[in-house]
Amino acid sequence: MNDTSTLYKKLQSGEFAITAELSPPKAPDLSRLDKHIENYKVGVDAVNILDMPSATLRMSSLGTAIYVKQQGLEPVLQMTCRDRSKLAQQADIIAAYAHGIRNVLCLTGDYVTFGDHPMSKPVFDMDSTNLIMMVNQLRSAGRAYSGTPIADSAKEEPFKMQWCIGGAANPAGNKPHHLARTINRKAEAGVDFLQTQPIFDLEAFDQWWTALDKQGVHDKVKILPGILPPRSLRGLSFMVEHVPGIWVPPKVISRIENASDQKEEGIQMCLEIMQTIKQKYPIAGFHLYPLAWTETVPRMLKDLNLFPAADNAA
């Protein structure tokens, strides 16, 4: 019962891992996720269950993650600090573990003013680094934030939950050595893997990677660069304007704009980025952001020869 996740084992053994994102529905109808889950079943190792992305109301990530687990996929539970206090975070983490969820992604969360409930209270009881530290303590010491043991009686041994802890990183937007300091702190806090924001600018990624190298972060943390296949120019422009933390250089925008088939061009561009990154850097895997366009995932993985061999032949 107290075993680690497949993703954790894969990352530790150095196997190439693929993670992807799944956004919970707003209406209380989980069957809407089934087609996306089908697309993810082959090739994707774990699926991030978003915790109200852009602070927009959705079903809770915990409830959705339990369903995804029942459907036979491995979920990565996203936990943001935006809506939960220290107590609520830990209560949800314990509940998730009891339901067989073993991966947790610790995020600070988008600010409430980006979503549909700008009048809601932003909690931010701690930041993502502190959340990572808290989950690491639950894992290695079996003790809650306050130091009290995770046990129901004084005689019982503290329960050590075998979490695989994830975090997020943004390789663009700020000075690389400043970003490396933050990543270094996350590494010290006890993070196992980091998923980055979607990468469109390989130059910025290279500078960031070099800065991390200087700090020696790569020995401590596995990095999964984020890949987002843009479906159209409109979709890409919307994201640049409304989703915080995404940097798209002008030449990428003009490339999509001038393409005769914007969908195909978006996929081709992502495949090029993935191939370059995979050849050049010792990454642990990829993190895919197909948004609602999950049918591209099996295709992209096939094109990159990342599809499991048995399914490739079929």
Ranges of H-type helices in the chain: 6-13, 34-40, 61-70, 86-98, 128-140, 176-189, 202-215, 233-242, 250-258, 262-280, 296-303, 309-313
CA–CA distance, 263 with 240 (Å, rounded to integer): 17
Q: Residue 209 contacts by C-beta under 8 Å, 6 or more apart in sequence?
A: 171, 281
Q: What is the DSSP letter of 290?
A: -
The distance of closest approach from Cβ of residue 128 to another protein in the complex, given in angstroms and rounded to an integer, is 8
The distance of closest approach from Cβ of residue 37 to another protein in the complex, given in angstroms and rounded to an integer, is 27
Footprint (CB under 8 A) of another protein, residues 198-257: 244-245, 247
Question: Which residue, 110 or 265, is less far from another protein as judged by CB?
Answer: 110
CA–CA distance, 305 with 303 (Å, rounded to integer): 6
User: Using the rule CB under 8 A, is 194 a contact of another protein?
Assistant: no
| Count helices and strands in the chain by DSSP H and E runs | 12, 8
111 contacts 122 by C-beta, under 8 angstroms: yes
Question: Which residue, 17 or 187, is less far from another protein as judged by CB?
Answer: 187
User: Using the rule CB under 8 A, is 117 a contact of another protein?
Assistant: no
Q: Which of 2, 13, 31, 146 binds another protein (CB under 8 A)?
A: 146
149-178 footprint of another protein as x/- string (CB under 8 A)? -------------------xxx-xxxx--x
Residues in contact with another protein by the rule CB under 8 A: 81, 86, 107-111, 113, 122, 124-130, 133-134, 136-137, 140-141, 143, 145-148, 168-170, 172-175, 178, 181-182, 184-185, 188-190, 197, 244-245, 247
